[in-house]
Amino acid sequence: MNGIIIGQFIPGDGFFYKVDPRSKIAGIFFLMIAVFLLKDIYQVLGALLLTFGLLIIGKISFIKVLKGLKPIFILLIFTFVFQILINRQGNILVDTNLNISLINIGLVIILFVIWRFLAKFKKFNFLLFLGFLFGSIFIFIYSSFSFDYNLTSFNLQIYEKGIEMSIFVVIRLLIIITLSTILTLTTKPTDLTQGLESLLSPLKKIGFNSEDFALIISISLRYIPTIFDEANKIMQAQASRGADFSEGKLKEKLKQVISLLIPMFIIAFMRSEELADAMESRNFVPGKARTRIHELNYSYRDVLVTAFTVVFFAVALLFRLNVLGY
Amino acid sequence: MSYIEVKGLDYSYTKNKKVLKNIDFSINKGDWVAVLGHNGSGKSTLAKAMVGLIEPSIGSIKIDGLELNQDTVYDIRRKIGIVFQNPDNQFVGVTVKDDIAFGMENLAVPREEMLKRIDFFAKKVQMEKYLDKEPSQLSGGQKQRVAIAGILAMQTDIIIFDEATSMLDPFSREDLMKYIKKLHEEGLTIIMITHDINEALLADKMLILKSGEVFAYDDSHSLMKDKDVFRNSYLELPVALEIANSLTEKKYDSVKEKLWEYVSMK
């Protein structure tokens, strides 16, 4: 299987591509902590603007970052709704009764069917989803018919602080994900491991060998495509003997996965034995001092990144301690 | 004194069954020796013992006057490198460049020197255009060439090929044999483990193993005259040799049969 991309790295030549992985990792780590130090919505909005600024400086397209957001989209919506419903501080903004009745439910089901039907037009998937969401909320709040059978109803209250907090939390998540996307988009997996190795090297004093750790990670990364290839071959071999990986009940599927996993494990062990032989015969001794072909070099860019991080962190800390206030 | 000296080597994986029995041979500097044998004759075990991956029960291995033991194994591995059968399972680096560098990194070669040697030896195996490629983008033959470059970069002067061509397609196999021949011409000592007689014929000498014992060890040319050696060690004779033998014995029917067999195989 060629061209499997491990991680999200996309080759390019923006500002952040040339920053040393060590300063990138450390910088983003401290920026994330700083974002958690911020206390109110204006501060996180400022932080969000700064993050967008970073994207513009790094010439990273917003679309790529949005793609990175996709997997956690549900989480974002859930957090948003949860915060709105839970928080009961500040002025009350909305106070209505939600009626759940036969006609309501019927209408929502019809809306759902329309949504799924239109979902074929993949381009507007997101808009359609929003349409469905707000459509159903609208139906629950405003539809009331005199001849309706009301099943149950409850009181929906939305407070000022609730909306503020939900926006606050969502923005904070957005910033953190955007920051980590900047790191993974612009750093090769190998550089990432080497940066981690270098940053973790002080841990040698407590018996953690970061060099071995980095070697383990880089070898695992190197073998992911090989193992995928192997899995494909085994799946084809099993399929040619009548195994069907796509259909069947859960129990059957589980059985088929086992018929894939056991040979995979055996092959992986044999591989690792041969690899160990190959490494040893090339004079590899765990824990022995080695030189490195890859070199990490600091440049003026790293000074900039570090300075930005320090200032951002300091300001966030001062906000937190109420030294800077308004 | 010979460059490589193996004396009275015994090895057994389990207590009762010996894989290697009283192996004795010596190899001169610059020789190209093919180690032949049927499946399970102990070829690969011998190769592993020579690079110190397994410890023989009895016997000694001397390379360049240095006896192989726990203290000298790292020095000996600087002199002797091994290319294994499976191209995928010996590719340590994430890219070609990283893989060639791996052995040198272990020897703590300075970075400047490493870069020079990578360029030089990548050119030697004609992989200089692939330095930043990942193993999944390379063919089996290319991976084996990278393995050779990685060993050469450690400045070893003995290379063992442990059935290094057996997982390759015929074209890459022929290609790799050309590189081995070139290395031999440049003065490297080459030990080539194989069960393919046609490959072994290219070597100066043949060491034939049978059930863990040295069955024959001689010049390729003198061995070829003795057809019984191959037959008795469960090896198949090359077609040309079989036909030549039949002709000298005037068995013309059998010549005809062999020729038909050969033509239908091609």
Give residue B160's pLDDT: 95
**Separation between Cα atoms, residue B196 and residue B162, nearest integer Å:** 12
The helix (H) or strand (E) run that includes residue B21 is strand B18-27
Of all residues in chain A, what percent carry a pLDDT higher than 90?
19
B158: β partners: B80, B189
Q: Which residue of B has its CA nearest to A272?
A: B89
Give the pLDDT mean for B41-51: 90
Q: Does B103 touch chain A (CB under 8 A)?
A: yes
Chain A residues lying within 8 Å of B78, measured CB to CB: 283
CA distance B182 to chain A (A): 22
Between A324 and A57, whose confidence is greater? A57
> Measured between CB atoms, which of B89, B104, B109 is closest to A278?
B89
Residue A4 predicted with pLDDT over 50: no
DSSP class of residue A201 equals G
> Measured between CB atoms, which of B84, B106, B136 is closest to A284?
B106
Instruction: Give B193's pLDDT tier (boundaries 50, 70, 90).
Output: very high
Q: Are B179 and B145 in contact (CB under 8 A)?
A: yes
Instruction: Give B57's pLDDT tier (boundaries 50, 70, 90).
Output: confident
CA distance A319 to chain B (A): 45
**Chain A to chain B Cβ contacts (< 8 Å):** 93
Mean pLDDT check: name the lowest of A3-12, B25-34, B98-107: A3-12
Residue B248 within any structural domain of the chain = no
Give residue A144's pLDDT: 65
Instruction: Give B205's pLDDT tier (boundaries 50, 70, 90).
Output: very high
Q: What proportions of chain B, in percent to the nearest 5, are helix, strand and coil?
A: 45, 25, 35
Residue B264 within any structural domain of the chain = no
Instruction: Give the CA distances from residue A66 to residues A35, A50, A181, A272, B217, in Å, rounded to whole numbers and listed in that order.
Output: 20, 17, 10, 38, 69
Give residue A26's pLDDT: 93
Instruction: Give the CA distances from residue A54 to residues A132, A163, A308, in Å, rounded to whole numbers and listed in that order.
Output: 34, 27, 10
Residue B218 within any structural domain of the chain = yes
Query: Is A218 in Cβ contact with B150 (below 8 Å)?
Result: no
Residue A1 predicted with pLDDT over 50: no
Task: Specify the CATH number for the domain of residue B82.
Answer: 3.40.50.300
Give residue A3's pLDDT: 42
**Separation between Cα atoms, residue A21 and residue A298, nearest integer Å:** 9
Give residue A122's pLDDT: 65
Q: CA dihedral in degrees (B165, B167, B172, B173; nearest 10)?
A: 30
Residue B25 within any structural domain of the chain = yes
Q: Which residue of A has its CA nearest to B101?
A: A293
Residue B178 within any structural domain of the chain = yes
Please write down the long-range contacts of B229-235, taking CB distance under 8 Å and 24 or more positions apart. B230/B197, B233/B36, B233/B37, B233/B38, B233/B41, B233/B208, B233/B209, B234/B38, B234/B210, B235/B36, B235/B37, B235/B38, B235/B195, B235/B197, B235/B208
Instruction: Give A143's pLDDT tier (boundaries 50, 70, 90).
Output: low
**Separation between Cα atoms, residue B19 and residue B211, nearest integer Å:** 7
**Separation between Cα atoms, residue A258 and residue A264, nearest integer Å:** 10
Tens-digit pLDDT profile for residues B132-175: 888 888 999 999 999 999 999 999 989 999 999 888 888 888 88
Query: Is B51 in Cβ contact with A279 (below 8 Å)?
Result: no
Residue B25 predicted with pLDDT over 60: yes
Query: What are the domain boundaries of chain A?
Result: 12-188+300-326
ipTM for the complex shown? 0.87
Residue B122 within any structural domain of the chain = yes
Give the pLDDT mean for B233-252: 80
Give the pLDDT mean for A81-95: 80
> Measured between CB atoms, which of A4, A219, A281 is closest to B82?
A281
Domain that holds residue B229: 4-235
Query: Is B91 in Cβ contact with A222 (below 8 Å)?
Result: yes
- Report the DSSP pairing between strands B158-162 and B18-27: unpaired
Mean pLDDT check: name the lowest of A88-92, A306-310, B165-169: A88-92
Between B199 and B160, whose confidence is greater? B160
Tens-digit pLDDT profile for residues B28-39: 999 999 999 888
In terms of Cβ atoms closer than 10 Å to its own Cβ (0-12, 13-18, 19+), residue B74 is middle
Chain B residues lying within 8 Å of A283, measured CB to CB: 74, 77-78, 103, 106-107, 154
Residue B130 within any structural domain of the chain = yes
Number of domains in chain B: 1
Give the pLDDT mean for B76-105: 91
Q: Nearest-CA neighbor of B167 among B192, B147, B140, B142?
A: B140
